[in-house]
Structure 1
Amino acid sequence: MSTMQGGKLMEFGGGRRVKREWQDIQTELLMKIVSLLDDRTVIVASGVCSGWRNAICSELTHLSLSWCTNNMNNLVLSIVPNFTNLRVLTFRKKGEQPLLDDKSVETIANNCHELEDLDLSMNSRLGDRSLYALARGCPNLTNLNISCCSAFSEHGLDFLSRYCRKLKMLNLFGCYKAATNKALKAIGDNCRQLESINLGRCYEVGDAGVKNLAYGCPHLSVIDLSECFFITDESVIALANNCLHLRSLNLYYCIRITDRAMYALAHSRVKNKDEILWESVKSQYEEEGLMNLNISQCKDLTPPAVHAICDSFPALHTCQGTLNMHGCLKLTSVHCACASQLHHAIHPA
């Protein structure tokens, strides 16, 4: 049995009373308590005493600093060097801009060498110095979100890809200076485990870059090409033929896409089924094929081509939003199987 007396933890056992300091609490018990706290309180707890600081800083693997609304850089410089075993680090609440600087990212890279998941999105102050630091200090990164970090260049992204070869998720939304065909070639050459990439509003991306991704990253399952105005059917054909696990494809406002791309995707369903039959174990997820497709504003598409997509991928539903066709006036007659079934139920023959 334990009680508090004079700020001490009193334990009773064997008929005698033992006085213990709070710093003597077992690490396992302390971390169970810490797991119930919000991140701000965890930081406070790490300052209670040297014992707690050592235990928390050495054991904590996930940390969010999104609660900090002022002087984020000072906070990073003061506390991050203590948390050397972090795996996941997040800074941003939705809609807020933490505005980190390169020095803060360098501090992270120089101390958190085990980091796997990092969200630096919406930091327009960051430059290539940050990418160079992450490349040298965080080779285990698997998830990196640098969306809307508009100051990065293709050279920084190229350098990062050469050292962070374990990347599986990369969000480059709005990185229009960094996400060029040259940078995508480097990613395709080096990051062969990549599964998800967001290239939305990366206006310099063209077929050459997407092809290099398709050829070099066969595990790609999610790719966002929204508002990549230069891509054509060639990009989609390369993805259809080489990325057998493609599940989500966003072609919003890819105005050069035609029926040829849709038929390539539809044909890939049959081709991919044949090629994966030899696998001894296949999850239901793998058998579903394409599960999300956005072709909004792709105004050259015709109903027969999109019907072919619907027939090949039953998971695509206009009624559920997994097949998005906004702004495609030619496709008003296209509906998923659910709509057809409902129509027949209401108007039986």
Structure 2
Amino acid sequence: MCSKNMNNLVLSLAPKFTKLQTLILRQDKPQLEDNAVEAVANFCRDLQILDLSKSFKLTDSSLYAVALGCRDLTKLNISGCSAFSDNALAYLASLCRKLKILNLCGCVKAVSDTALQAIGHYCNELQSLNLGWCEQVSDVGVMSLAYGCPDLRTLDLCGCLLITDDSVIALADRCPHLRSLGLYFCKNITDRAMYSLAQSKVNNKMWRSVNGGNDEDGLRTLNISQCTSLSPSAVQAVCDSSPALHTCSGRHSLIISGCLNLTSVHCACCVRPHSAISPFPHSAH
């Protein structure tokens, strides 16, 4: 929705669209204010998908209104909304318990361990969470997510500088459906975390082989760029345990940029003698 008077437009239209289920209010230039979001929350109570990304003018009043009025939300994007507090986010989590997809990238003030503990406690159906560059996040918050959100499939922790191996170990142990994990610039991650991921995938694969499961289960995307403490053997173990991770040209899903010591890590199709891609190993990038 693009308009020089977006705020007024939302105020005028909200009472007319009471059955609205999806609303995208993403902006290039912040125009949206709390009174417009409050109108949406008051009149559009069937909303399931709401995008307020880059709404820099919004305050906690908007989150409180959404929490009270839109309890059926399954997808919420408030990335870049830098004014929200962790108390408001925790309150929203306590009421919007059907959330499955939540984008909090860049919400530095809102995303604390307290807020993540609330999300882990109340939003047990959560499948995708973006915490990119939320620098207050520590192991306490991530472990709360791991224990409370067992169906978590996508988690972006890029730039969360405080987390350690304990976060990854908890995710490996408690989130068997995890498919995508972003650890870019998480300098405290070591081989211990990688081996926990590898072992969990091996154990899950053995369980599935007995009970009948999908061979494609396992990590499909892993970003460990700038994680310079990792050794080739530990990362290779993860790659071997998750066949959907690729280092080959055109299929990079194991992202290791900036880790010059990991150039020897290769996926199975890079070294398979009769691979359709190439009989020779490719350099990882």
Q: TM-score range by the shorter chain?
A: over 0.9
Q: Give the match for residue 33 of structure 2.
A: 101
Q: Give the match for residue 325 of structure 1.
A: 256
1:4-83 correspondence runs (5 A): 66=1, 68-83=2-17
Task: String of CA shifts for 1:275-321, please: whole Å, max 9, x gaps.
Answer: 556867x5x4x842110000000000000001101110010001212
Cα distance in structure 2, aligned partners of 1:89 and 1:171:
15
Residues 72, 302 of structure 1: alpha-carbon distance in 2 compared, 3 angstrom cutoff: same
The TM-score, its normalising length taken from structure 1, stands at 0.76
Structure 2 residue 238 is matched with structure 1 residue 309? yes
Is the 2:270–2:280 contact (alpha carbons within 8 Å) kept by the matching residues of 1? no
Q: Give the match for residue 223 of structure 2.
A: 294
Three-state SS of the structure 2 residue aligned to 1:223 is: strand
Residues 229, 346 of structure 1: alpha-carbon distance in 2 compared, 3 angstrom cutoff: closer
Residues 174, 344 of structure 1: alpha-carbon distance in 2 compared, 3 angstrom cutoff: closer
Three-state SS of the structure 2 residue aligned to 1:186 is: helix
Residue 120 of structure 1: how far off its partner (Å): 0.3
User: Which residue identity does 2:102 align to in structure 1?
Assistant: L
Residue 237 of structure 1: how far off its partner (Å): 0.2
User: Which residue identity does 2:166 align to in structure 1?
Assistant: E
Q: Where does structure 2 lack aligned partners over 5 or more consecutive residues?
A: none
Task: String of CA shifts for 1:87-129, please: whole Å, max 9, x gaps.
Answer: 1101226xx2343111111000000000000000001111110
Residue 340 of structure 1: how far off its partner (Å): 1.9
Is the 1:193–1:217 contact (alpha carbons within 8 Å) kept by the matching residues of 2? yes
Residue 69 of structure 1: how far off its partner (Å): 2.9
Q: Give the match for residue 62 of structure 1.
A: none
Cα distance in structure 2, aligned partners of 1:109 and 1:140:
11
Cα distance in structure 1, aligned partners of 2:198 and 2:185:
20
Match 1:259 to one of 181, 191, 197: 191
TM-align CA RMSD: 1.8
Q: Rg larger in 1 or in 2?
A: 1
User: Which residue identity does 1:295 align to in structure 2?
Assistant: I
Cα distance in structure 2, aligned partners of 1:220 and 1:332:
30
The TM-score, its normalising length taken from structure 2, stands at 0.92
Q: Where does structure 1 lack aligned partners over 5 or more consecutive residues?
A: 1-65
Count of paired positions: 276
Q: Give the match for residue 271 of structure 2.
A: 340
Cα distance in structure 2, aligned partners of 1:277 and 1:166:
32
Among the aligned pairs, what percent are the same residue?
56
Q: Give the match for residue 128 of structure 2.
A: 196
Relative contact order higher in (CA < 8 Å, ≥ 6 apart)? 2
Residues 346, 316 of structure 1: alpha-carbon distance in 2 compared, 3 angstrom cutoff: closer
Q: Give the match for residue 115 of structure 2.
A: 183
Cα distance in structure 2, aligned partners of 1:298 and 1:291:
18
